[in-house]
Structure 1
Amino acid sequence: MQTANNKYLLAAAICCFAAALAHLGCIVFGGDWYRFFGAGEQMARMAEQGLWYPTIVTSFIVLVLLVWTLYGLSGACKIKRLPLTKLALILITSIFLLRGVSFVGLMPMFPENSLTFWLISSGICLFIGGLFAVGTWQQWAVLGDRNA
């Protein structure tokens, strides 16, 4: 799968990495960062109290975003091809786009998150999902079904 660089997948990978760093910042810097990013007062207070829940949840998100970064880089031919790259990119794209459009249904489950949080985070998810979608389509439109 050595084709020309895929700028969309590379941009998607960079965005995932930036999001992972922002989430990592919440773990490192605590409540003020949770508040700034709109995660809700409850998460911020739990972080300030040293409770494990915010760290575990946020660490999981960091790990997922880092794996998605690697798959974006793999699809963009910047690192070695990872197993099931095409399937992973399709799933990543779907998850980002679904998260971007389903925030209205998710809002009642997280009442402490601000409307600003939902609008900005959903917009970011739609943007990154769009990068993954265009990059994935572009990559396999060039290759056809080879190396799927």
Structure 2
Amino acid sequence: MISRNNWLLIAGSLSIAAALLHLACIAGGPAWYRAVGAPEPLIGALERGNPALAYITAGIAVILAIWGAYAFAGAGLIRRLPLMRTALIIISAIYLARGLMIVDPQRFTEPGRSSTFMLWTSLIVLVFGLTYAIGTWRAWSALSAKKV
């Protein structure tokens, strides 16, 4: 049995909150996408009836929800999931890699990207990655135990 790990509980909650925000953007439409800093060309396409942005956003929400489930499983809140350690390492690495974009200011000036959006999302995702990494590190020995 994996014992409770508050770092992973927080990490999972952050991922679920992000998934819900993505779903809210789909429901809220272009105004919501603009409010969170989505690229204007994608919003314009959505306004012209192209559903690609909504599909991408839904896909991201599903991935974030799965990542939240892995954090909750690692925290002992739900049953173990397959490849727990591997998944938590990969999730931590992806969040940290995205968050570390903050150290490359040129990424902030790419066409179609809002520098404010890039700054804030980099900071937020860096926090997500740190909570996953710390939680995974703290649960490492418990995550290796085979459940019979």
Check whether TM > 0.5. yes
**Superposed displacement of residue 47, structure 1:** 2.1
SS at match of 2:111: coil
The sequence identity of aligned pairs, in percent, is: 39
Tell me the alpha carbon deviations over residues 90-121 of structure 1, each in whole angstroms, 9 at most, x when there is no partner: 0000000001113536446x522211100100
Distance in 1, Cα, partners of 2:118 & 2:25: 17
Number of aligned residues: 145
- Residue 117 of structure 1: aligned partner: 117
Unaligned runs of 5+ in 2: none
**Superposed displacement of residue 144, structure 1:** 7.8
Structural mapping, 1:25-64, within 5 Å: 25-64=24-63
Unaligned runs of 5+ in 1: none
Return closer, same or farther for 1:144/1:38 CA change in 2, 3 Å cut-off. Answer: closer
C-alpha root-mean-square deviation of aligned residues, in Å?
1.9
Return closer, same or farther for 1:144/1:80 CA change in 2, 3 Å cut-off. Answer: closer
Distance in 1, Cα, partners of 2:62 & 2:22: 10
Q: Structure 1 stretches (4+) deviating beyond 4 angstroms?
A: 105-108
TM-score (norm. length: structure 2)? 0.90
Return closer, same or farther for 1:144/1:120 CA change in 2, 3 Å cut-off. Answer: closer
Assess if the C-alpha contact under 8 Å between 1:31 and 1:43 holds in 2: no
Structural mapping, 1:80-99, within 5 Å: 80-99=79-98
TM-score (norm. length: structure 1)? 0.90
